[in-house]
């Protein structure tokens, strides 16, 4: 077990993390997915390398471990309005990035080479486009980020919002490389996923930060190092990396790429490489999928439809049955089901075990039975948790795939949970017990405007956990 405080006392580590996180809104993740993103009701920031041990001590109650920063660099970060109401005008630059992730962290040893292969595909294509100096890779411990240095945009950033550029460039690369990337996903036996996660206030790992769970270091790599890279480089006792990889850029080198991307993709806030996402939730990856791209930068953007669906389904279950663990399991289970049904359709192909191997939960071999819950037939495991395609959705999976998305979007999850319960409780049981009415009357009206329509008030730092809050709420109701 690594000594976290000793690790972050290293001068190179402190200087690197500070240099990268300066002028970004930072986040610190601790044990059990606890997050801190606010301090004294202001966005959490860092002003010197020596802030790192101070922050570790200040937030020791969450057992801090990993440092993150927003993809945006802000002009100022002095109060809430700088990242809320004044967000659009306050963004100075934004970092395009692609997430190449190993779905199950237990598969790192056998899947990491597939991740590197994807990185090589992206690198070689950029070389062909004349972009050679302004990007780098970051091995996080269980996957890799491809990132373009935000300083390489010159004329394009004077004419377009930085987030539009970051999103369009990322999406453009994925679209151009779609056949090769889908083949790489297939060759990995669908053990990896490739995503465009560019969105407002999205956070990603700082170079040389520790992984949130594994005893690994996020090591920055220059493009030419991919062929020689090995996962042993991320060993915290003897990490190997390029100290300046994340700093390299040539002013204006990516302008042509930006213009091509903006003309092709248009302005948008959130999309993903749908075929790669399809592979992880059981949709035929070759199917052509479309989504609108003309979504303007807006303060209304939330964590995304999938987490909102999972949250509201969990709140629905809890209001009806008062069991938080099963509520989390049910919420994630239903979100997966509706995502699959939307993009493929239950009438066309059954949701099979093979199509959902070890995704969003843990594969189980025990026999399951069917149970009717809130008007829906759902498989249930011997542990009374819900199952989709031979995979059990556990409370910790909900925390990873749902709660964390709210935290990354700058919304304390306990606040989102409380507001979701308040919202769901307004509806009669007849609606909550009818899946169709719940979708149309409860979920659909707020799915794209969760912040504006549900999160009414500004956020304050909370120290109580979700389960503790629920217990307190139960006592108040009684």
> Is the pLDDT assigned to residue 340 strictly greater than 90?
no
Segment 113-118 shows an average pLDDT of 96
Q: What is the largest CA-CA distance in the chain?
A: 66
389 membership: H or E segment, kind and range: none
> Is the pLDDT assigned to residue 269 strictly greater than 60?
no
> Is the pLDDT assigned to residue 285 strictly greater than 50?
no
Q: What's the pLDDT at 469?
A: 38
Nearest one of 13, 229, 4, 14 to 100, comparing CA atoms: 229
Q: Say how many residues make up the chain.
A: 478
> Is the pLDDT assigned to residue 163 strictly greater than 70?
yes
E strands, 330-472, in order: 362-363, 369-373, 376-380, 386-388, 391-392
Residue pair 292/305 in contact (Cβ under 8 Å)? The answer is no
Tokens in use for 164? 């539009």
Residue pair 404/195 in contact (Cβ under 8 Å)? The answer is no
Q: Where are the domains of the chain?
A: 80-281, 305-477
Residue pair 438/316 in contact (Cβ under 8 Å)? The answer is yes
Q: What's the pLDDT at 201?
A: 87
Model confidence, pTM: 0.69
Nearest one of 224, 220, 222 to 208, comparing CA atoms: 220
Q: DSSP states of 29-88 as a string? A: E-GGG-EE-EETTEE----STTHHHHHHHHTGGG---EEEEESEEES--SSGGGTTTTHH
Pure H helices in 215-272: 255-265
**pLDDT tens digit string along 1-39?**
789 999 999 999 999 999 999 999 999 999 877 889 988
Q: Count Cα neighbours of 221 within 13 Å in the Cβ-side half-sphere.
A: 29
453 pLDDT tier (thresholds 50, 70, 90): confident
287 pLDDT tier (thresholds 50, 70, 90): very low
Tokens in use for 347? 């009438």
CA 467 to chain centre: 22
Paired with 26 in beta bridges are 69
Q: Is 317 exposed, middle or buried (0-12, 13-18, 19+ CB in 10 A)?
A: buried
283 pLDDT tier (thresholds 50, 70, 90): very low
User: For residue 116, how many other CB atoms are within 10 A of its CB?
Assistant: 19
State how far the Cα of 242 lies from the Cα of 220, in Å rounded to an integer.
Answer: 6
**pLDDT tens digit string along 418-440?**
999 999 999 999 999 999 999 99
State how far the Cα of 182 lies from the Cα of 167, in Å rounded to an integer.
Answer: 20
State how far the Cα of 60 lies from the Cα of 437, in Å rounded to an integer.
Answer: 45
State how far the Cα of 311 lies from the Cα of 305, in Å rounded to an integer.
Answer: 10
Q: What's the pLDDT at 449?
A: 82
Which residues lie below 8 Å from residue 228, measured CB to CB, with a gap of 6+? none
Class of domain 80-281: alpha beta
**pLDDT tens digit string along 391-405?**
899 988 898 888 888
Q: What's the pLDDT at 342?
A: 67
Least confident of 8-17, 235-244, 373-382, 460-469: 460-469
Q: Count Cα neighbours of 303 within 13 Å in the Cβ-side half-sphere.
A: 23
State how far the Cα of 442 lies from the Cα of 177, in Å rounded to an integer.
Answer: 38
360 pLDDT tier (thresholds 50, 70, 90): low
- pLDDT top residue among 292 and 112: 112
State how far the Cα of 72 lies from the Cα of 198, in Å rounded to an integer.
Answer: 10
Segment 404-422 shows an average pLDDT of 84
3-state DSSP call for residue 325? helix
Tokens in use for 272? 């993903």
Pure H helices in 177-222: 178-187
456 pLDDT tier (thresholds 50, 70, 90): low
> Is the pLDDT assigned to residue 355 strictly greater than 80?
no
> Is the pLDDT assigned to residue 271 strictly greater than 60?
no
266 pLDDT tier (thresholds 50, 70, 90): low
Q: What's the pLDDT at 363?
A: 75
Residues above pLDDT 90, as percent of the chain: 57
Segment 292-319 shows an average pLDDT of 70
**pLDDT tens digit string along 70-102?**
999 999 999 989 998 899 899 999 999 999 999
3-state DSSP call for residue 298? coil
> Is the pLDDT assigned to residue 217 strictly greater than 80?
yes
State how far the Cα of 101 lies from the Cα of 254, in Å rounded to an integer.
Answer: 25
98 membership: H or E segment, kind and range: strand 97-102
State how far the Cα of 404 lies from the Cα of 367, in Å rounded to an integer.
Answer: 30
> Is the pLDDT assigned to residue 289 strictly greater than 80?
no
State how far the Cα of 246 lies from the Cα of 16, in Å rounded to an integer.
Answer: 10
């Amino acid at each position: 077990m690594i000594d976290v405080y000793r690790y972050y006392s290293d001068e190179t580590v402190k200087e690197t993390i500070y240099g990268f996180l300066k002028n970004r809104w930072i986040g610190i993740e601790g044990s059990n997915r606890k997050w801190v993103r606010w301090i004294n009701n202001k966005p959490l920031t860092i002003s010197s390398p020596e802030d790192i041990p101070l922050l570790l001590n200040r937030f020791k109650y969450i057992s801090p471990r990993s440092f993150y920063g927003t993809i945006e660099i802000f002009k100022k970060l002095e109060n809430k309005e700088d990242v809320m109401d004044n967000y659009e005008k306050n963004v100075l630059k934004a970092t395009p990035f692609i997430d190449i992730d190993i779905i199950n962290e237990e598969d790192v040893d056998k899947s990491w080479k597939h991740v590197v292969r994807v990185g090589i595909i992206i690198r070689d294509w950029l070389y062909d486009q004349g972009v050679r100096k302004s990007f780098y890779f970051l091995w996080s411990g269980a996957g890799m980020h491809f990132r373009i240095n935000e300083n390489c945009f010159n004329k394009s950033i004077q004419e377009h919002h930085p987030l539009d550029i970051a999103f369009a460039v990322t999406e453009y690369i994925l679209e151009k490389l779609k056949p090769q990337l889908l083949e790489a996903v297939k060759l990995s036996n669908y053990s990896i996923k490739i995503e465009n996660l560019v969105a407002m206030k999205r956070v990603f790992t700082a170079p040389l930060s520790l992984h949130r769970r594994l005893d690994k270091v996020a090591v920055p790599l220059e493009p030419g190092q991919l062929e020689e890279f090995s996962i042993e480089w991320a060993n915290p006792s003897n990490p190997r990396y390029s100290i300046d990889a994340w700093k390299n850029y040539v002013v204006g080198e990516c302008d042509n790429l930006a213009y091509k991307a903006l003309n092709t993709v248009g302005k948008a806030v959130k999309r993903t490489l749908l075929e790669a996402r399809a592979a992880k939730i059981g949709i035929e990856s070759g199917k052509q999928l479309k989504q609108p791209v003309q979504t303007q930068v807006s303060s209304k953007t939330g964590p995304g439809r999938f987490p909102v669906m999972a949250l509201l389904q969990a709140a629905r279950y809890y209001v009806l049955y008062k069991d938080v663990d099963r509520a989390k399991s049910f919420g994630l289970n239903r979100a997966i089901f509706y995502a699959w049904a939307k993009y493929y359709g239950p009438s066309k192909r059954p949701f099979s075990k093979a199509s959902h191997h070890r995704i969003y939960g843990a594969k189980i071999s025990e026999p399951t039975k069917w149970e009717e819950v809130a008007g829906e037939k759902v498989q249930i495991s011997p542990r009374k948790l819900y199952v989709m395609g031979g995979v059990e959705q556990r409370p910790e999976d909900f925390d990873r795939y749902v709660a964390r998305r709210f935290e990354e979007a700058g919304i304390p999850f306990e606040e989102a949970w409380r507001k979701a319960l308040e919202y769901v409780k307004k509806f009669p049981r007849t609606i909550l017990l009818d899946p169709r009415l719940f979708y149309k009357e409860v979920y659909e009206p707020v799915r794209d405007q969760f912040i504006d329509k549900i999160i009414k008030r500004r956020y304050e730092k909370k120290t109580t956990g979700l389960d503790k809050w629920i217990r307190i709420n139960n006592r108040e109701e009684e």
